[in-house]
Chain A
Amino acid sequence: MKQVHLAAHFPGVNNTTVWSDPRAGSHIEFSSFAHFARTAERAKFDFLFLAEGLRLREQNGKIYDLDVVGRPDTFTILAALASVTDHLGLAGTINSTFNEPYEVARQFATLDHLSAGRAAWNVVTSWDAFTGENFRRGGYLPQEARYERARAFLATVLELLDTWHGDEIIADTAVGRFISRADAGKFAHTDGHFDIAGQFDVPRSPQGRPVIFQAGDSDEGREFAAAAADAIFSRHSALEAGQAFYADVKGRLAKYGRSPDELKILPAATFVLAPTDDQARELAHEVRLQQVSGATAIAFIEQLWNRDLSAYDPDGPLPEIDPEQGENTIARGRASVRMYRDPIATARDWRARAQAGNLSIRELIIEVTGRQSFVGAPATVAASINEFVQADASDGFILVPHITPGGLDEFADTVVPLLQERGVYRTEYHGTTLREHLGLEAP
């Protein structure tokens, strides 16, 4: 039987995160991160994951205030979490547009040293001048240049990390020799994006390089992952669609000389647990109501319609007018607006569904966005997760709880033991590095 891989996504700045719940804690105090990380480690998860956004989101030209706003610096919080965990992998999104390879290489090498081999990097590219306004080099990349820049950035960082082989520090006090070769760290790299040379200053870390993640399921993203990543984050989907995605991505590995095991497929997934399946379904609906307030529902249709729709009643029908075509100007700093490739067709589809089901704007949005991936009693959820993995729709899941920081506790206490009973999930960590948890070979 395949083993299930599980990871935990710290609840983020989306409407999925229910900050209004009385149990919801701080999104910035270290105690919340420490609680979340300790639960993930107690549950023997592979890693904890942090997302990143480098500009606060705006809607209608104003900072978006309905979701959690504000988060820590990724590297800094991961380094701090290394001191309250011993095995848990520490994964973060770091942007390849608004950073430089030398700095990112030394930060990941440092994180890997300080965590004794638990660092992972979700390589993302940014696309907008909007975010670039926060950075000295600014930044705008045409769509087609984004993956090219990411590929060049990643290759350059890996080249820097490989300038140290791991045997240089001998620290021989008797003869007074600290390093075995004076040219350790020397590099010279030139491509269309970077022209750098010198000597890298962080010796090789326990994993050699961080575990590399790629998020996104576009064709370019899949190819990037097949060529260079150790794991891919995807969107959760139905079993058959998951199997098709899995087969497609794994099928791309051979041309890069890689075996299917060398790339893990880990969709992000949400869950709602209750003692019985019926209770869980009821609770899931309550959570959806918390996640989609009337104001949030209006914000969602504005993002599709690309218009100010603040005059509409969320408990009333969808707008009759069509979405504004062209560049989305209503919502900025948000990746999801790019999902709507044909806004007019999507709007027509939504209107049809609303009319057929007699749904208000809010009810429709509850229906069409962010339904929970796994809803049920612990045994149901455990069986379902295992089914996806055994049927090759995924290698596991990155779980996104909706409550900070305790939203993972119930999963750890109820679902994990059932997976362990089935023999598809570890009862103890066997290795110490993240690469070992994921079953990946050393680079």
Chain B
Amino acid sequence: MTVSGAEPLHLAVALEGAGWHPAAWREPGARPAELLTAGYWADLVTEAERGLLDFVTFSDALSLQSDSQHQPDARTDRVRGRLDAVLTAARIAPLTSHIGLMPAATVTHTEPFHISKAIATLDWVSSGRAGVAVKVSARQDEFGHFGRRTLAAGPQAVSDLFDEAADYVEVVRRLWDSWEDDAEIRDTATGRFIDRSKLHYIDFAGRWFAVKGPSITPRPPQGQPVVSALGHGDNAYKLIASSADVGFVTPRDAPGAAAIVAEVAAQRHAAGLADQPVRLFADLLIFLDDSAAAATRRAARLDDQAGAPYRSDALIFAGTPADLADLILQWQPAGLTGFRLRPAAIPHDLTRITRALVPELQRRGAFRTEYSASPQPPTLRDRLGLPRPASRYAGAQA
């Protein structure tokens, strides 16, 4: 069955430890003692690239993992300890050649100047495959790790954190634009390495910070690497609409997906960005097996080991690759660009994505059968159909 005329489908995988389920590390094939090694992450991303996926995301936070999203716990039966996601992505970049690399970065306690040049550098070392999943920190313990301010209570404080995140992304993007593409001239006649009229102060001054610029890092291959954010509600939808190229959302069904798509589109319009695409991916947490019964049994077994049923902000899907392909093709017309799949257990569910789901979608004519080779080779933006932005400062006086 060929789905002709449909938008091309895009698939991503969200990498997290030994998998998203808290008992995943105890599964056969898991490598729990290797989670802090480069080899482990290289194998995962290589597998995702073998499945022709668009990109992988790397989870991160500025605190130790915990069952609660809001506070630490004292559990010893879960994966605890992690690596910085941006550095992990950079470590993998030279070992891969097609797949996009999108590490998470917390924007609440960090410097936009540092993150801007880090992601620009990731774009350089990956030849245009970098993105960044920006993340707001609203955890008291993370505030305590920095000791610069305290987390205020109430909805206004959370709303402010999202507004601050929008300012942060604005600064990061301005810094990416602060070097025009052709600023490096190496003019031996005049002895000038750069044409300084093509470097620009960004002079950002907002409620939370001021940043002068320009960046110390030249404009990266994509001009602006891809910015993404995860969202569950108004604050996050607004951030996605105002600041992101890619949004991760968590609908429970196709009508729910359509409602979120409409909501983000309305916010995008309100932000004055209606002419710039934003690509929405639905997050799904997946257990994939040869039969739906086996998948359900495995989910139950893992829950049993973990001591409680696993709950997720995303829909939990337990079934066959063909069932998941059905769901994907049923939801996609709601306006989704694609899906970001969270494997419940690694390697089991990751390899079933790359070796069963992808072939199933290919059989239906719904997913690429090779990475396209043009332009030479495509950037993550090219892959997602996002135009390469010109520097906003091009043509302006320095």
Contacts and interface: CB of A to CB of B under 8 A. Distances in A.
Q: Decide whether A and B are members of one complex.
A: yes
Interface of A: 19-20, 28-30, 34, 53-56, 62-63, 65-73, 75-77, 79-80, 82-84, 98-100, 102-103, 106-107, 110-111, 113-116, 133-137, 164, 168-169, 171, 173, 176-185, 194-203, 205, 293-296
A171 B190 CA distance: 62
Given A111-B87, A178-B25, A56 B76 contact: no
A198 B216 contact: no
Contacts of A110: 83-84, 87-88
A397 to B, nearest CB: 27
B211 interface: yes
A76 B199 contact: no
A19 B193 CA distance: 8
Contact of B216 (A54, A77, A80, A83): A54
Please name the 7 residue pairs, one residue from A and one from B, whose CB atoms are nearest each other, closest first.
Answer: A136-B209, A171-B32, A133-B212, A182-B74, A76-B121, A110-B84, A79-B90
A113 B35 CA distance: 10
Nearest to A136: B209
B166 interface: no
A83 B91 contact: yes
B62 A82 contact: no
B111 interface: yes
Looking at A28, A69, A134, A180, which has the most chain B CB atoms within 10 Å of its CB? A134
Interface string B86-103: 111011111100000000
B395 interface: no
A76 B115 CA distance: 10
B251 interface: no
Contacts of B193: 19, 65-69
Contacts of A176: 23, 26, 77, 305
29 contacts: A20-B186, A29-B124, A34-B94, A53-B216, A54-B113, A63-B214, A68-B193, A70-B217, A70-B218, A76-B121, A79-B90, A83-B42, A83-B92, A102-B145, A103-B146, A135-B111, A136-B111, A136-B211, A137-B148, A176-B26, A178-B32, A178-B78, A182-B74, A185-B81, A195-B147, A198-B142, A199-B72, A202-B82, A203-B36
B114 interface: yes
B109 A100 contact: yes
A134 B212 CA distance: 5
A99 B117 CA distance: 14
A14 to B, nearest CB: 12
| Residue from A77, A177, A201 having most chain B Cβ neighbours under 10 A | A201
Contacts of B110: 103
A203 B33 CA distance: 12
B370 to A, nearest CB: 25
B29 to A, nearest CB: 11
Contacts of B112: 136
Contacts of B33: 169, 171
B83 A202 contact: yes
Contact of A98 (B90, B111, B144, B146): B111
Given A106-B84, A135-B111, A182-B74, A69 B194 contact: yes
B32 A173 contact: yes
Interface in B185-209: 186, 188, 190-196, 199, 208-209
Instruction: Pick from A80, A173, A184 the residue with the most CB of B within 10 Å.
Output: A80
Nearest to A138: B210
Nearest to B164: A136
Contacts of A99: 111, 114
Given A65-B192, A178-B76, A202-B83, A80 B214 contact: no
Nearest to A66: B191
Contact of B81 (A19, A66, A71, A179): A179
Given A83-B38, A100-B109, A178-B79, A20 B125 contact: no
B87 A114 contact: yes
A53 B117 CA distance: 12
A10 to B, nearest CB: 13
A218 B185 CA distance: 38
A116 B38 contact: yes
Contact of A114 (B79, B91, B195): B91
Nearest to A182: B74
B220 to A, nearest CB: 9
Contacts of B83: 110, 113-114, 202
Given A114-B87, A178-B77, A182-B76, A19 B64 contact: no
Contact of B118 (A75, A106, A198): A75
B336 interface: no
Contact of A19 (B72, B87, B186): B186
B4 to A, nearest CB: 40
